Chains A and B, each alone.
Chain A
């Protein structure tokens, strides 16, 4: 009896995590240009939450490498990648999603990390502890966070 309940509970959790509409990292399909056309969640992104992901060190930390004039209120923008001002004029939604999921889709050999990938890493770690990752690797961002960032990037027009 207890055992049955436990099993039911486990399946319940799994079912929510793998919500039918969320595409798992290994299942994301990019087209021949590296673009990912369909939303990872089937839900529209929220640019306000996207701004938080862009600037939070524990999330996207995008401004560690990119200058973004619209984010001037947040200190310390890096210079490793190009400015993102006007990114929406240069890239389609599908291309932006493609590069966030897996930078190699659009920029082979780029310094930019892949934010929605879980395999193919050399010595993956457990966060910033320096120890080996345990169990399945989590993507840096959730599917919805990727969509939120895409929505934010689409506001960057010049």
Chain B
């Protein structure tokens, strides 16, 4: 029955987005996410122990969106982000750089990389630092393909990330926070709880203390990143994790950090770890 309603609601999605009212429709926070009728996602589960009781349950951002926005992510034909996955496949198969290699030269198919998304950011032994998936992709691009590094939130990079997320959908987020990654994780936690800007708000102010509440017309989620990159109806493109972080810090009337900065790398590890137990769900659809 619920599914029927969603299917019916789909027809009006375009009109809703045009009128800009999609954001204000109440969400079905109890809905389950099954993509293409067979890919079952974990959109709510018990919070990981390292959240120390700050949250009891964790929820995918999908659960806070309107019925219409939710529906767009339930079928790849309705998910506008899948167009960018197509472009990601093209890049994956195109040779670049001095070595004449494409991603496919080493990895054959994107599906071979389906376990990757869920465990990044990750400690990189060789480099002695925490690496995000963006950094790992650029390691391949520069060192194994002999090409120029892709811009942090460039179209090609975000499209490749959308591809790696899409083949990873349904795997359970499980980033490691112990061992050598611990220091970076703690730095990320520090940033998460710092009140920035002239409005003096932290990530926790909005996404830990107030998820489920409205702030003006915005229905606050827990700010999880298991759905990234996200296609936003608001700007009609794919958005990277770090550009989202920037937007949120900017909205506190603060000086933000740069995309790819050590601060945002640490914050990405920390925020990813808050979603341990949810499934990889990108590329997702948001308002």
Q: How far is the CA of A63 from the CA of B213 in the complex (A)?
A: 13
> A126 — which chain B residues lie within 8 A by C-beta?
255
Is there a chain B Cβ closer than 8 Å to A130's Cβ? yes
Chain B interfacial residues counted at CB < 8 A: 26
Residue-wise interface mask of B (226-255) relative to A, using a CB-CB cutoff of 8 A (1 in contact, 0 not): 000000000000000000001001111111
The winner among A61, A77, A80, A133 for most chain B CB atoms within 10 A is: A80
Main secondary structure of the interface of B (DSSP, over half): loop
Let me know if B201 and A76 touch, CB within 8 A: no
Residue-wise interface mask of A (47-73) relative to B, using a CB-CB cutoff of 8 A (1 in contact, 0 not): 000000000010001011100000000
Segment with Cβ contacts to A, from B62-70, B98-106, B189-197:
B189-197
Main secondary structure of the interface of A (DSSP, over half): loop
Let me know if A130 and B217 touch, CB within 8 A: no
Q: How far is the CB of B18 from chain A (nearest CB, A)?
A: 18
> B199 — which chain A residues lie within 8 A by C-beta?
113, 140
Q: How far is the CA of A130 from the CA of B250 in the complex (A)?
A: 5
22 of the cross-chain contacts (CB-CB < 8 Å) are: A57-B216, A64-B215, A64-B216, A77-B216, A78-B216, A79-B213, A79-B214, A80-B210, A80-B213, A111-B201, A111-B209, A113-B198, A123-B255, A124-B198, A125-B197, A125-B252, A125-B253, A125-B255, A129-B250, A132-B255, A133-B198, A140-B198
Task: Given contacts A76-B217, A80-B214, A130-B246, list 7 more A-B pairs with CB under 8 A.
Answer: A64-B215, A76-B24, A80-B215, A113-B201, A121-B254, A123-B196, A123-B254
Interface residues of A (CB under 8 A from B): 57, 61, 63-65, 75-80, 111, 113-114, 121-133, 137, 140
